[in-house]
Homo-oligomer: A and B are copies of this chain.
Amino acid sequence: MDILRATSAIVTAFMNGVSRIIPVETLQEAEDLKKRGYLVAAERDGLVQPFADFGNSPFNFTRERVAGRQIVYSTTNGTQAIHEAGNCHRIVIGAYLNFTALSDWLISQQRDIIILCAAWKNKFNLEDTLFAGALAERILQDPDYYTICDSTLASIDLYRIAKEDLLDYIDKAAQRHRLRKNNLDDVIEYCHTFDLTSLIPAFENDCLIALQI
């Protein structure tokens, strides 16, 4: 997950009918694929790249733009996280937008689960940690799951503090201030909305597609 904003945008793209998303790590790959005719979403540090069609605000992935199309996508932290997770049995994409569907699917798998926060340039961030806590709390309600991981326990406790008023709590997170500085904070409320869809994007054959459940 990369709540602000990559995975929220990816889930939104599937809600709006994108056929598949090709995540790439480097801007060079993204630019090369743009030249070959792909629709390209690419940002660094929250700013749209000049060669790209748009950046990674969820609001860019409108039905008019993405329905039935494939998109190349490169972000500061999100696409790196997808590639770092490379050796897992399955990689799926989480956001508040698909929270319940994702939780239920994860629980149904009866496998070890790693909740991978994209965070910010290899540093801890609050908004991804809170989502990890929300997800872990939900999964651990199932008696088949347990954790001995300190970071999971901490994320659950932080989410319990924050959940009464998630937006108020997020207000102190550093990424919120980065987005506000760049006038990109219009998406924060949207990115913290539960269960707008039951679609779960999954990483298969180097692409993101909608998981067939």
Contacts and interface: CB of A to CB of B under 8 A. Distances in A.
Interface of A: 120, 123-126, 129, 148-151, 153-154, 157-158, 161, 172-175, 177
A175 to B, nearest CB: 8
Contacts of A177: 148
Nearest to A157: B161
Contact of A150 (B148, B161, B173): B173
Contacts of A126: 150, 153-154
B174 A154 contact: no
Given A157-B161, A158-B158, A125 B148 contact: no
A177 B146 CA distance: 15
Q: Which of A123, A150, A174, A177 has the most CB of B within 10 A?
A: A150
A100 B57 CA distance: 46
26 contacts: A120-B150, A123-B150, A123-B151, A124-B150, A124-B151, A124-B154, A125-B150, A126-B150, A126-B153, A126-B154, A129-B150, A129-B154, A148-B174, A148-B177, A149-B174, A150-B173, A150-B174, A150-B175, A153-B172, A153-B173, A154-B154, A154-B158, A157-B158, A157-B161, A158-B158, A161-B161
Given A126-B150, A129-B150, A154-B154, 20 more contacts: A120-B150, A123-B150, A123-B151, A124-B150, A124-B151, A124-B154, A125-B150, A126-B153, A126-B154, A129-B154, A148-B174, A148-B177, A149-B174, A150-B174, A153-B173, A154-B158, A157-B158, A157-B161, A158-B158, A161-B161
Contacts of A123: 150-151
Contacts of A157: 158, 161
Contacts of A151: 123-124
A123 to B, nearest CB: 7
